[in-house]
Amino acid sequence: MARIAFIGLGHMGGGMAPNLAKAGHEVRAFDLSEEALAQAVEGGCIRAGSTEEAVKDAEAVITMLPAGKHVAEVHRDHVFGKAPSSALLIDCSTIDVATARSVEEDAAAQGYAMVDAPVSGGIAAAAGGTLTFMVGGSDEAFARAQPILDPMAKAVIHAGGPGAGQAAKICNNMILGATMAATCEGFAMAKKLGLDLQTFFDISSKASGQSWSMTSYCPVPGVGPETPADHDYEGGFAAALMLKDLKLAMDAAQSSGAYTPMGAEAEELFQRFVDRGGGSKDFSGIIKMIDDSWKVPEE
């Protein structure tokens, strides 16, 4: 069992860190929020008073932070030179590919092995230990990261070299944003054309319009499996986070010269939904904006 430092115990990290403790690891946890830290301690983690205290003597350092600037700052100011150089650094946050690569380069220059390991699956999967990890880094670093990530995972997949995990994550979420918007449009038009929506689901979920957004996460209340649509779009994956990922995808498209008109359209739609007050709703709630008969939030 390993000594693991866990930094960032919010919606995601707060579920993940206790799963490592349950698996028998010694988890020294730190968060700027006292409340988040107290919950992790209740979940079996050991309280650290700072990132420096958490990473001292650590064999692995896991970060689950909001954005690239937090990941860069925490590593450059509080991890590099403070954790033993033998420690494996694992960043599970969703951040831009350029920052991920630059922090990984700095880590290597300081003698650390590091991987980017963003996740798919929301708060429930974090708490349940069923996340999918997409890992970018060397073969050696991946082999060291895998057994550490396993207690938090349904799957741990090596995506490629440094930054490849973040690249896979934003390409995946760009597809998700676009297919969700297209699925909402399809149902909205089906309704206007007088189709029964359960009947349309039965047809399209077995025809070529099928996608995860339709069959596993149908945006229409009462149709398909139980989803956030059945709870007025509460819980699930917040539209604000989808917008964050689409912005990361558009940055990556620009820097790599990729042509992504559907991704750009999805970003604009989710921006409008967030501007209208939908940011904390599940991202499938965008159906409310696409068809006003699902109640459009006031502008």
| Binding-site ranges for ligand NAD (CB under 6 A) | 7-13, 30-33, 36, 51, 64-66, 70, 74, 93-94, 119, 122-123, 237, 241, 244
Q: Is the CB of 12 or the CB of 55 nearer to ligand NAD?
A: 12
C-alpha triplet 103, 166, 154: angle, nearest 5°: 120
Query: What is the biggest distance separating any 2 CA atoms in the chain, rounded to whole angstroms?
Result: 65
CB-nearer residue toward ligand NAD: 31 or 104: 31
- Are 173 and 124 in contact by the 8 Å Cβ rule? The answer is no
Catalytic hit among 22, 69, 169, 192:
169
DSSP secondary structure code for residue 90 in this structure: E
Q: How far is the CB of 92 from ligand NAD (least distance, A)?
A: 7
The span from the CA of 227 to the CA of 154, in Å, is 20
Euclidean distance between CA atoms 103 and 114, whole angstroms:
9
Nearer to ligand NAD, 36 or 190 (CB): 36
To the nearest 10 degrees (0 to 180), the angle between helices 97-109 and 164-192 is 160
Nearest residue (CB) to ligand NAD, 123 versus 157: 123
Nearer to ligand NAD, 25 or 70 (CB): 70
* Nearest approach, Cβ of residue 214 and ligand NAD (Å): 20
Closest approach, Cβ 267 to ligand NAD, in A, equals: 15
Least distance to ligand NAD from the beta carbon of 190, Å?
A: 29
CA distance 145 to 160: 14
Task: Name residues whose C-beta falls within 8 Å of residue 175's C-beta, 6 or more positions apart in sequence.
Answer: none
Asked if 169 is an active-site residue, the reply is yes
- Measured CA to CA, the distance from residue 219 to residue 233 in angstroms comes to 9
CA 170, distance to chain mean position in Å, is 9
Position with the least CB separation from ligand NAD: 10
Q: How far is the CB of 212 from ligand NAD (least distance, A)?
A: 15
Q: Which residues are catalytic?
A: 169
